[in-house]
Amino acid sequence: MNVKRNPIAYLGEEYERLVREGLAWEPRELQGPNKPISVFDGREVLVLCSNNYLNLSTHPKVVEAMLEATKKYGAGAGSDRSIAGDTTLHRELDRRLAEFKDAPASLTFQTGFMTNQGVLAQLGGKGDLYVSDELNHGSIIDGIRLTKADRAIFKHKDVDDLARVMKEAATHQPAYNHIWIVTDGVFSMDGDLAPLPEIADIAAKYGAGVYVDDAHGEGVLGKGGRGIVNHFGLTRDQIHAEMGTFSKAFGIVGGHISGSKELIKFSMNKTRTWLLSGAVPPSVAAATIAAIDVMESDSRRVERVWENREYFLDKMKALGFDTGHSETPIVPIMCGDSKTAKELADFVWGEGIYVLPIVYPMVARNLARIRVQLCSEHTKAQLDAGIEAFKKGGKKVGLI
């Protein structure tokens, strides 16, 4: 049978559908360093949508550490860490990070996504159960999908529903070998916090492990930005695996898993994303160590993030904006439908403010929003400019 067809035609067709429905993702071009005032698409704008919470990506000590490590170690590690690319700097980062997180041990990965995808794919298997918050990050969802473990979902932050799921799991036959409760620490679309102490209590009742993704909590929560486990005063006997990323408050790139020495040895020997991927350049490890140095010596950066968050949030609420359930420097400006969110983002872009509309399918159709993220180096004058732009735009689109 001689069938003539284009085997990839459907890719273009699917993209065209996304464009028609207003769902296509078209990032703007950053043409310089990521700072509170940056150049995107040829325009100098105030950036209110960056993960760079502590503005460490341009800190002189971090930049200098990266340059010096490149001169000493070269541009790349030349191999996977599991083979011949495990440099002195990678090992030093693991050690320094464990100290910073007050954990027995840490293991660093190439990205946060790869950490979740790799570790979760191995922690559970046939005869095990993952219990996951319904709004967990896609990297958690993908990691769990790679296993043969059973999975159950509990309603967002609903500890009563979690208790129900765990009670049912306890009667499963045959009995589960291992149960892991998995949750984001800070939920990235709403900026709300997981009820981690209550989750830990329920886990202890049923002998389950707790795995928390602290990507948006590190550098923001806890003493000196040590994260959500520190924030709630929990122990490593209560929270068994704490994942994080260096692409946000640390200002660089990479990920990690922190916890017991047994967890780290297990991950080193079982996690494919660590075993089978090239090591991050030594310069990245050095810059991350330098970022830890800054966080340990300059607590004012973390304090300024929260000062800016409180200032912005209070002003926006006073104007009549719905800021959702924010408990962190992630502040959603709830818009309802996707069209309104996009119109508001376009308007404030015209005013010199860069923010992103978060629309379906990233959130439910009626829960579109602008996601604002506050950083330590935003000035009050800059925040006032952003607030004024939102005030004009909010009136124009009928939100206030």
60-297: in CATH 3.40.470.10: no
Contacts of 229 (CB under 8 A, 6+ apart): 101, 196, 212, 214, 222, 236, 239, 242
Q: How far is 352 from 154, CA to CA, in rounded Å?
A: 41
pLDDT tens string 94-122: 999 999 999 999 999 999 999 999 999 99
- For residues 297 and 46, give the distance between their C-alpha atoms in angstroms, rounded to a whole number: 28
Please tell me the predicted confidence (pLDDT) of residue 4.
75
Q: For residue 138, what pLDDT is reported? A: 93
pLDDT at 7: 86
Nearest to 121 by CA among 275, 272, 278: 272
- In this predicted structure, what is the pLDDT of residue 226? 96
The SS3 assignment for 77 reads coil
256, 140, 258, 149: which is closest to 208 by C-alpha?
149
Q: What residue ranges of the chain have pLDDT lower than 70?
A: 1
Q: Which fold has domain 25-54+299-397?
A: Aspartate Aminotransferase, domain 1 (3.90.1150)
Q: Which burial class, exposed, middle or buried, applies to 35 when counting CB atoms under 10 A from its CB (0-12, 13-18, 19+)?
A: middle
Catalytic center residues: 188, 216, 248
What is the per-residue pLDDT for 364? 83
Cβ atoms of 281 and 85 closer than 8 Å: no
Phi first, then psi, for residue 251 (nearest 5°) are 80, 15
pLDDT of residue 232: 98
- The whole-number pLDDT of residue 71 equals 97
Smallest CA-to-CA distance from 186 within 238, 221, 210 is with: 221
Residue ranges per domain, the chain?
25-54+299-397, 60-297
**Common-topology check for domains 25-54+299-397 and 60-297:** no
Give the whole-angstrom CA distance, residue 343 versus residue 276. Answer: 44
The pLDDT value given to residue 218: 95
